[in-house]
Amino acid sequence: MNKNNYALIMAGGVGSRFWPVSRTEYPKQFIDFFGVGKTLIQSTYDRFLKICPPENIFVVTNEIYTDIIKEQLPGLHENQILAEPIMRNTAPCISYGSMKIASLNPDATIVVAPSDHTITNQEAFIEAIGQSLKAASENDCLITLGIKPSRPDTGYGYIQYIENTLKTDNQIHKVKIFTEKPNLELAKSFIQSGDFLWNAGIFIWSARSINKAFSRHLPEMHEIFLQGGPVYNSENEKDFISDAYQQCTNISIDFGIMEKADNVYVLPADFGWSDLGTWASIYDIAEHDYVGNAVIPAEQVMMFNSSNCMVNVPKDKLVILQGLHDYIVVESNNTLLICPRSEEQTIKQVVADVKAKFGTKFI
């Protein structure tokens, strides 16, 4: 196993679209949605154990989740948990992680990935990451993984690529443009063109290349974290980061770096990927009965004349559904949500309305 390979797992989100199961104090990355005995972050960590030495895996998260991280990933040393004092999107956490890793190993090649994705073909995923790490170690480039689309999905961002490839790897193509979530007609045209991929939000680069990209495209942020060189991996790191984050703008790595840089490449891949962004994505992956219901867990749920429902309820509760079609039914934390599947994008606004009326009690 290459000791220059590192992983930075991003685990700071609150997962509001999975409310009420996912809550601010215990968000979706720490939940076992499918009853497999592992939470999403545990599954992500286990995947990277096949790619990086365990001491080279770092998790960046909000400081309120550090105890959960320690509980769920006991193999991590405390120095491998990067605690953010406030939420500032993905660019600051990646700059922080890249600087910290570079201070340990200037020759590091890093894969950055969210903690809450599912991968059904583990072997294909490991192969794609390994191929990208090798290419990133040999070239001054920023690589992202693009998923070959199976349908015109309006819930994903898209990446268009051109024929030009890296000199050392003719499967990794130059990126032409990133496109945010399109409408259905535009998504259909993307699929028909054949040169668009879903944006998986998984990045691979050398520490040198990403830090150089920050210095060019987000110079103020780069300078903030560059000043931490003497204190990274020391007892003074936490105090430095607390001050540094107060100075950072709230910006994603996509807007801050990837859409501006001229050395961005994409590897088209297909390894059974889902970003688990909504209850619909859980529904798509879960097992269904003969009329399309996905029930997790299914021990004490009875369905009568009901179809195509996504049901997630406590194991000890008896639930009977009669005459319900195409609905989400979720109960957790003393809260019951019943919502048409077609309107699940409104859940985030529902959470905001609940907070406005009841405060944080149910959030």
Complete DSSP assignment for 247-290: H-----HIIIIITT-S-EEEEEE-S-EE---SHHHHHHHS---T
Instruction: Give the chain's mean pLDDT.
Output: 93
Task: Look at residue 82 and tell me whether its pLDDT is greater than 90.
Answer: yes
Position 48 confidence tier, pLDDT thresholds 50, 70, 90: very high
Among the residue ranges 130-134, 178-182, 196-200, the one predicted with the least confidence is 178-182
Confidence band, pLDDT 50/70/90 cuts, at residue 15: confident
Which helix (DSSP H) or strand (DSSP E) does residue 137 occupy? helix 122-138
Residue 221 has pLDDT above 90, yes or no: yes
Query: 212 near 139, Cβ under 8 Å?
Result: no
CA pair distance 169, 2, nearest whole angstrom: 19
Scan for tokens 């980061």, then name that residue. Answer: 241
Residues in a beta bridge with 110: 6, 205
What is the distance between the alpha carbons of residues 283 and 296, in angstroms, rounded to a whole number? 10
Task: Give the per-residue pLDDT at 62.
Answer: 95
Mean pLDDT value across residues 325-349: 91
Give me the pLDDT at residue 360, please: 87
pLDDT at 28: 92
Task: Say whether 227 sits in a helix, a strand or coil.
Answer: coil
On the question of pLDDT at 297 being above 80, the answer is no
206: left (phi over 0), alpha (psi -120 to 50) or beta: beta
**Is residue 113 very low, low, confident or very high in pLDDT (cuts 50, 70, 90)?**
very high
The answer to whether 159 and 175 have CB atoms below 8 angstroms apart is yes
Residues 6+ positions from 214 with CB-CB distance below 8 Å = 95, 98, 221, 222, 225, 257
Summarize the confidence of residues 2-27 as an average pLDDT: 90
d(CA 48, CA 60) in angstroms, rounded, equals 15
pLDDT band at 16 (very low <50, low <70, confident <90, very high): confident
| Three-state secondary-structure class, residue 2 | coil
Q: Which pLDDT belongs to residue 4?
A: 97
pLDDT of residue 215: 97
Q: Is 158 within 8 Å of 136 (Cβ atoms)? A: no
Strand segments, DSSP code E, in the chain are 5-10, 57-62, 81-84, 109-114, 118-119, 142-147, 158-166, 169-179, 196-206, 264-269, 273-274, 294-296, 301-304, 310-312, 319-322, 327-332, 335-340
| pLDDT at position 275 | 84
pLDDT at 323: 97
Predicted confidence band at 176 (pLDDT cuts at 50, 70, 90)?
A: very high
Cβ(208)–Cβ(106) under 8 Å? yes
Average pLDDT over every residue of 199-211: 96
Residue in 299, 302, 300, 297 with CA at minimum distance from that of residue 286 = 297
The pTM of this model reads: 0.92
Question: Given pLDDT bands bounded at 50, 70 and 90, which one contains residue 75?
Answer: very high
Looking at the predicted structure, is the pLDDT value of residue 361 above 90? no
The mean per-residue pLDDT over the stretch 62-80 comes to 96
Q: Rounded to the nearest 5 degrees, what angle is found at the Cα of 248, between the Cα atoms of 143 and 29?
A: 60
Distance in angstroms (rounded) separating the CA atoms of residues 334 and 254? 37
Domain ranges (residues) in the chain = 5-274, 279-358
CATH of span 5-274 = 3.90.550.10
pLDDT tens for 123-150 read 999 999 999 999 999 999 999 999 988 8
Q: pLDDT value at position 281?
A: 83
How confident is residue 103, by pLDDT bands cut at 50, 70 and 90?
very high
DSSP code for 305: S
Q: Following DSSP, what letter does each residue of 150-167 receive, concatenated?
A: SS--TTS-EEEEEEEEET
Q: What percent of the chain has pLDDT over 70?
A: 100
pLDDT digits (tens, 9 = 90+) for 245-284: 999 999 999 999 999 999 999 999 999 998 887 888 889 8
- What is the average per-residue pLDDT within 220-231? 96
Determine the Cα–Cα distance for residues 131 and 148; give it in Å rounded to an integer: 17
